[in-house]
Amino acid sequence: MLQATKMTILMILISGLVSAQIPEKIKNIFPAGTIMHNNLAYAGDTLKRHKLDIYLPEKIKGNVPVVIWIHGGAWMQNDKFADMGYMKNTVRSFVEQGYAFASIDYRYSTDAVFPAQILDCNQAIGWLYANAEKYHIDKNKIAIIGFSAGGHLASLVGLSNNNHVKQFSPGGKNIPFKIKAVIDFYGPANFIALIPKVEINEPTDPLTLLLGATPLERPDLATIASPTTYVDTNDPPFLIFHGEKDESVPYTQSILLNAYLRRAKVKSDITIVSNAPHYGEMFDVESNRKKISDFLKASFK
């Protein structure tokens, strides 16, 4: 069991290996002429993890919808460039379709336990909302996309957005923005259902580090941190992708989330990618990109 858990941790840690790279090294991902605003501080402090980047189409006119990227890495690894390396065509397509694209950093679980990560995501999106006019963003057309741990955070942001959870927002204030669409790539959705995969006596398990305790020790906190807790009829539409051979996050997590959403009559579509692992170029294919493109067009109407 311990060996299996260590392998699970390793797989999650290497999700989105394009971490710690400077913007110069990812410029070739974006179309020529893309306007870049890098390392914008969104929390009014100097923390490295409280920065975001904005990428805008060349010759942008007026305000355009924004797609916000939340990276993976077990809540304790990688940065705002992660996952882009194996999703290059998907990233490029957002700007080519005329959308603004923003990528955010958030505090690691090794620096601050939950709910620090969701607080940071909400604060970053709130900053984009407040500064939308300056960066040609239509603040009423916000979509979020996340991978693995970032998929969890994207789902949690989208689903808790209308629940006014005080501990999820800076200063406990109501969050002003609304999420129009959520794209979730293999994110954990229900931490209680993950209990069989968590090594009870392993203090370095990613979920234990995130919560500051195992789900069995703090089932209340595990429930608060689970996206499925906040599903209701007022939630935004979801597009979900998961690998059939995912060794880190069972694809049943996405099946469960989709079932919750359908039960609440929230528009949701799920794709289980045949033979795909936890991450990789198998997700960056034309068929998936078309689903994403159609989903965003419908959501931004």
The domain that holds 232 is classified in CATH as 3.40.50.1820
State the pLDDT confidence band at 203, using cuts at 50, 70 and 90: confident
Please give the pLDDT value at position 10: 38
Find the mean pLDDT for residues 88-101.
97
Examine the pLDDT at 70 and tell me if it is beyond 70: yes
Q: Strands across the sheet with 137-147, in order?
A: 35-41, 51-56, 100-104, 64-70, 137-147, 181-185, 238-243, 268-273
Name the 3-class secondary structure at 38: strand
Find the mean pLDDT for residues 36-43.
96
Name the 3-class secondary structure at 231: coil
Please give the pLDDT value at position 27: 73
State the pLDDT confidence band at 228, using cuts at 50, 70 and 90: very high
Token pair 């790539």 is at which residue? 185
Cα-Cα-Cα-Cα dihedral of 72, 83, 21, 127, to 10°?
-60
Please give the pLDDT value at position 201: 63
Examine the pLDDT at 136 and tell me if it is beyond 90: yes
Q: To the nearest whole percent, how much of the chain has pLDDT over 90?
A: 85
Examine the pLDDT at 3 and tell me if it is beyond 50: no
Find the mean pLDDT for residues 92-97.
97
Among the ranges given (21-30, 54-63, 146-155, 197-206), the one the predictor scored with the smallest mean pLDDT: 21-30
State the Cα–Cα distance between residues 2 and 275, nearest whole angstrom. 25
Q: What's the mean pLDDT when you consider all of the chain?
A: 91
128 contacts: CB under 8 Å, gap ≥ 6: 42, 52, 54, 66, 68, 102, 135, 137, 139, 142, 177
State the pLDDT confidence band at 199, using cuts at 50, 70 and 90: low
Examine the pLDDT at 11 and tell me if it is beyond 90: no
Q: Strands of 32-173 (E only): list them.
A: 35-41, 51-56, 64-70, 100-104, 137-147
State the pLDDT confidence band at 236, using cuts at 50, 70 and 90: very high
The values of phi and psi at residue 142, to 5°, are -115, 125
The domain in which residue 68 lies consists of 2-299
Counting the structural domains of the chain, the total is 1
Measured at the CA of 185, the angle between CA 269 and CA 136, to 5 degrees, comes to 90
Structure tokens at 30: 């974006």
Please give the pLDDT value at position 160: 98
Please give the pLDDT value at position 279: 96
State the pLDDT confidence band at 269, using cuts at 50, 70 and 90: very high
State the Cα–Cα distance between residues 250 and 242, nearest whole angstrom. 9
Strand 64-70 and strand 137-147: pairing? parallel
State the pLDDT confidence band at 200, using cuts at 50, 70 and 90: low
Please give the pLDDT value at position 204: 86
